[in-house]
Every structure is written in C-alpha cells, then in structure tokens.
Chain A
Amino acid sequence: MVLINRFLTDCSTGEQLTVIKVAAGIRAKTRLANLGIVPGVTIIKRRAAPFRGPIEIIVKGTVLVIGRGLASKIIVNHKA
C-alpha cells in the first residue's frame, strides 16, 4: 500500500491517521503541540462540521475541534 501525505481536511471521516507535519504558525503550532498534536501521533478524524466548518478529531483519547483553516495545514498519512 502506498502511503500518500494528505491534508487533514481532505481525509474522510473515521480514518485513522498519523500526523506528519503541522505547517502552521508558531502560535498555533505550539498550542497544537501542547494538546498532543505532534508529528508521529495517531489521530482519528471524527467528523467535519456542516457547510465546510471545523474538523473534529480524536487525539490522546480526547476530542478536539480544529478550525478548517488550521486543519488544512495539518499534513497526515494513513496509519502504517
């Protein structure tokens, strides 16, 4: 199976993903790191809000909501 890096926004819901890179600003990046979203971590895309709204993910056993703009800067991969 070929692993292709994609943006979190482009994945379908229910997928188990590995974070590859967070290509956001330092502030958002620090925040996400504090919440456990660092390269190598496994997340699950849980749902996306209607009308191109924010993305809901499960990370470290908790549910986080991330704005679509930021979610589109998180690069993920299928869990190997």
Chain B
Amino acid sequence: MIKHKQKRKNAIKNLNDKRVINIALAGNANVGKSVIFNQLTGLSQTIGNWPGKTVELKEGHLDFLGYRFDIVDLPGIYSLSTYSLEEILSREYIVSDKVDVIINVIDATNLERNLFFTFQLLELKVPIILAINQMDILRKRNMELDFKKLEEYFKLPVIPVVAIRGIGVHQLVEEAIELYVYNRPHFHYIEGGKKLHENLTHHHYHNHHRHHFKNSKNEKEKTLKGKENFLFPDLSSILSYGKEVETKIKYLEKEIENSKDVPFNCNYPERFLAIKLLENDGEIIKLFNTSQRSKSVIKLAEKFRTELENYHGEEITTITSSEIYNNIRQIIEKVIISKPSGKRKTNFAAILDNLTTHSFWGYLILILVLIGAYLFTFLIGGFLGGLIENAFDIWSEKVFSIYGTDNFLISVFWYGAMGGFFGALGGVLVYVIPFFLIIEILQDSGYLPRAAFLMDRFMHSLGVHGKTIIPMILGFGCNVPACTGCRIMETEREKKISIALTSLVPCAAVMVVVLGLVGRYLGIGWVIILFGINFIVIIFVGKVLNKIMPGECTELIMEMHEFRVPNYSVIIKQTWVRSKEFIYKSMPIIIVIGIILELLLIFRVLDPINEIFAPVTVIWLGLPVITGIFLVYGILRKELTLILLEVLASSMSIPLLELLNPIQMIVFCAVTMLYIPCFVTIVIIARETNWKYALQISILEIGLALLIGGIINWSFVLFSNL
C-alpha cells in the first residue's frame, strides 16, 4: 500500500513534467498478457508481491508520447468471484484509484471463455480497452472478426493485436491516453466516432495535451480522478441476466442506493454489488454486514436468491453463468466470420500433446524433462563455474605475490569479500540463471499442466491435487518463488501441504552442495541415492500431513493450453528479471558474510559455537566440529555450507577431501539437503501461512535431517566395523 501511495505522491509531484497513467493488464491465463506486458515495459519490470499478500505482482513502466505509463500485469484469472485470492485481489485493484485504464487481453481463438471474464469486468464500469490478441492465428484458421460489430456491442475501444510481433501493442497505449484525456471511449470503426479523433497524431499527444494540462490546474485534478469521470457506455443490451434476474438486480440496486448513508469503503458500482449479493459472494456480504440497514439488503438478496433458485431449479451461479454464456454466444455468432476452411492437419503440437500425456511416454518425458533440466543447468553452470574458479585462483596468486600472504587486510578482503563474491558468482549464479531459463521455457511452452495431469492421481495420495507438481518443479530452481507459487492451490489445507512438500524439494543451492561435494568427489551414484532419500522423505511427509490435517483433498480443475513455441524474448526477459532479484538480494549478503566469516576465522570466535553443537555434529553425525557453524550459516543460504567449506579449505591450504572424508561428505550433504528450509523460505512460509506453521515445518525438517544423517553415519560406522 505504502509503495503505491508513494508512487501516487510522486506522480502528483511530477505532473508538470510528465503525466502518469496507471494501466492494468487483465485477462485469462495464457492469452498473451505477459507478452504484451513485456513489449510495453521491456527491462523495466520488477516482480514483487501484492502489499501484504503473497500473490505475485508484476510491475513495469513505459515512457511514451510524453506520458509515463505505470503498468501492472494482473494474474491470469477466469472470473471475478472469490474462487481464489487472485480473483479477489484483482477485482479490488481494478476498482481502486491505483489504476486508470484496464487493458483486457482477449484470445481471439478462444472468444467464448475470454469474453466471460470481459463481461464480469464490464460490470465494474471502469475504462476498459479490449485487446483482441492472436489475430494471426485466428486468420490462419480462416476466420475473421467483425471489429465494427464488436465496437457496436461493447461501445469501448476494440483493438486487434498480434502481441508476439508487437502489432497493435502501442496502439493500446495511445488508446489509454484517449480514455484518460477524454474520459470517454473513442471509436475506430463506427461512423462519426472517428471524426473527433482522426486528426490526432503522436505529435498531437505530445504537445497539445501537455500544453493543455499545464494551463489548467482543475484539469490536472480532474484527470487524477479520471476514472470517476469516465462516461461508461450503456451496455444494458448485452449485460442482461434475463428478465427475472434483472428485476431482482434492479430492486437490490435501489435498496443499496437507499442504504448509502452507511459509509461504504468500496468503489464497486451498485449493480455489481447487487449481482454479487445475489450470488452469495462472501467478500461483498462482508461489506454489507456492518449496519442493520445494510444487513437488511443481505436478507433481501437471500430471499431473491431462494426465489430464483426455486424457479430455475438451479444454483444461482449456474443461472448467472448460463445467462452470460448465452449473451456471449449471441455476440459471437454475429462477430465471427468463418471462411470456408481448409482441413485442420494434425500438427506437431497435437502430437506432442498426445505424447506428453501418454500413460508410458508421458511419464518417461516427465523424467527426461527433469533430468534434462538438471543436466542443462549443471553442464552450463559447471563449465562457467570452472572458468570463474580458475580465474579466481590465478588472480589470487597474483594478489598474494604482490602483497604477501600474511597481510591481514588483504586476507580479509580477498578471501572474505572477493572469495564470497566469486563463490556466489561461480558456485551459485552460474547454476541459477540456466535453471531459471529452463523453468521459464517449461512454463511458457505449456508443458507444466501436462505434468499436473499425469501426477494428479499420485499427488492425491499426498493430500493435494496434481497442480502441486508445478510449484514442486519450480522448487528445483529455488524454494522461495516455488513456495509463493503454492498460492495456485485453492484451499488453505492444500496450500499448507504443498508448501511443506515444496520446501523439501532440493533447490538449486542444495543441488550445488550435493554435486559440488558428493558428485564431484564420490560420483553420480551417491548423488542419486541422496536424491532417492529426499524423494522418500517428501512422500513420507505428504502422507503424514494428509493424515493429520483436517479436511479433504479438493479436486483438480485446470485449463490445458495448447503447446506453443516459447517466446524467446519473454523468456530471456523473465530470466533476467528473476536473476536480477537474486543478484541484488543475495550477493550483498554473501559478500558480507564472507567478510564476517573471514574475521571470525582469524579471531577464532567460532570455537565456542561449534562446541555447543559438537554433541550433535561430532558424536551423532560424525562431522568435523567446524561444520556446526557452517550448518548455521547454511540456514541463510544453503550453498554457503559448500562455499564456506571451500573457503576454509583454501585458507588452510588443504584439499576439501582432507577436510571431510567420504562418509562425512554424504552425511553433510544429506543433512544440508533436508535440515531446514533456508531463511528466506521460512519467512515466505510464515507469510503464506503463519509463523507457527513455518516453525513446525522447520522443526520437522531438522528432526528428519538429524535422524537420517545419524542413521547414515552410524550405519557406515557399524558397517565398516564388520
């Protein structure tokens, strides 16, 4: 919230230089919203969170035609009900004064489903631009849209777009200026509508409007509240729920109007409130549950609902949804022009679809995709990491040949700060970037829902439905965004179980440790065994949570999109944005800790801490005493355990294998793998659920790690005694 207020303040302050238009992109999932977002915002985008919420918020900006556009990419949703937090947040955001213009992105090839969302959006009576995307694909299917008719129906700007080629994208922004400045929609196809605007050029926006605004203070204030002044067209001809329902909506609307003495802190239009009250929408009912007067409105809505449900013999949401779909059907019949079509050939996407959901090939592909993602990550990461490591060694020699080996400051700076920096660069970042790249490709190509389809049955035995596999796959990259990704789960119970399972997935950092120690010194066989143990632990935890958590597993409802060739520009930008977050947030911590550790090592401060942990680390786990503090640091970032081992080995000038023997390496890796989610993940879990749950997970995982680590250690001890 604060961030937005600040933004708003800055916007007012800068008004003389540049006017800010706040745009939100809204629409179903997978309609090209993020492609348009990328086209508009380029590399200016950041991925954050909704204030106080765990839903991802993508923001970016664009400077164009003398305006600054602050653009938000809303989550892809199908409705504005209360099915998920995303839907609630989106509708609250859309009516708030944080946004001036909504661009509703619509997939032309899937008008029926997409327009359902549009119809809900229209009830919010905000300035909307309809961006009809994928026009190229529609035309390839020998179909065309009648844009004049569409404009006649919706009385709002309707713009054809081919997002991946950037066609029509900047026109959307021009249209946003139009809506913002004139406070009314501007027509392209309807006669007469064009005249008003047809002489306007880019030059016009740039100069005329700027001049126009500078001279009038009132205008300025007016445009800041532009949405309130927006002349929303009368769409009653298409937004009708049929006679019976409409009568009741009208009646409720009046009642709501009459109870307006109650201070309402919401921006929803009365009609929207009436519809939602009728639909028994929990969030809206909460708004009305304040005074006796407004409570009577709820009562009335209840009465109407019962009447309608009895009359139609259906639940109210079924009635309203059917009505909306009927209206859509009628529009579509008028606006879609089908030309005699050629044959639809079985294309590559369809073959891929069959293979990836096949009862044998599907699972094989799933396994291959995971292994492939790992191999890709580690071949690239390992190669680049090796280069960086060599460079660091060569530079180290040079530095110490100049300054000598016992210079205190140089030692702190070089081994601490630079060692940390290069360790993070060569040991972590080179793995993280390729993994983000792979994840983005998997996400953009549409593969992940197939994995959910295949794994649904199996995941049910762990108490969640198949969608959990998506955050879990993401978890291989980094548990932090993956745990946030668990928001796709619809109920609290499933979210909690998903988070617990995802936090146990070995992330890139764990992978670095396991491959950097066990993989490097003991071979791939032990790596596989360790991952096998991890997998069993995940199943065990899932089964246990499924037993002890109250409630039942909900069912999967998910749209399955066609496969498509990933858009490389979106992928590269997304990878960069995610990596950027990682660099800015993690690198400084790693460098600072590197310095602190180097100081601690020099002044031998670590010894008492290690002594405290000694009973566990030395006796139970059989590890060297120094590893106690490493495991503590590992809570901050798990790869630190490996980096610190390397720093220690290099400062003692011995190879790692002398620091840890093979058994110790295996135990150390097993413990690092399982013992606790990293600090940031714990914070995220706490924010997603609560601190109690975050601590419960942490304690559970520490317990499991110590148990398994100890078992491995002692079975080795006993085995070698034989």
Contact = CB atoms under 8 A, between A and B. Distances in A.
Interface in B439-453: 449, 452-453
B560 A64 contact: yes
B453 A29 contact: no
Nearest to A59: B113
A34 B317 contact: yes
B453 A36 contact: no
A36 B556 contact: no
How many interface residues does chain B have, given as a range? 35 or more
Given A53-B457, A69-B555, A36 B112 contact: yes
Interface residues of A, number: 35
B559 interface: yes
Interface in A5-56: 22, 26-36, 38-41, 47, 49-54, 56
A60 B28 CA distance: 14
B83 A31 contact: yes
A31 to B, nearest CB: 6
Interface in B526-559: 554-559
B449 A36 contact: no
B325 interface: yes
B560 A34 contact: no
B453 A65 contact: yes
Interface string B105-122: 000011011001000000
Given A33-B321, A34-B321, A56-B453, A64 B558 contact: yes
Contacts, number: 127
Given A50-B454, A65-B556, A38 B357 contact: no
A56 B362 CA distance: 15
Given A31-B83, A34-B81, A54-B466, A64 B559 contact: yes
A32 B325 contact: no
A43 B113 CA distance: 14
Contact of B560 (A28, A39, A65, A68): A65
A30 B79 CA distance: 10
B318 interface: yes
B138 to A, nearest CB: 12
B465 interface: yes
24 contacts: A26-B317, A29-B315, A33-B318, A34-B317, A35-B113, A36-B112, A38-B318, A38-B322, A38-B325, A50-B363, A50-B457, A60-B110, A60-B112, A61-B109, A65-B453, A65-B558, A66-B555, A66-B556, A67-B456, A67-B554, A67-B555, A68-B457, A70-B555, A70-B556
The 9 closest A-B CB pairs, nearest first, are A50-B359, A67-B555, A70-B555, A33-B321, A67-B556, A53-B457, A30-B317, A34-B79, A63-B560
Interface of A: 22, 26-36, 38-41, 47, 49-54, 56, 60-70
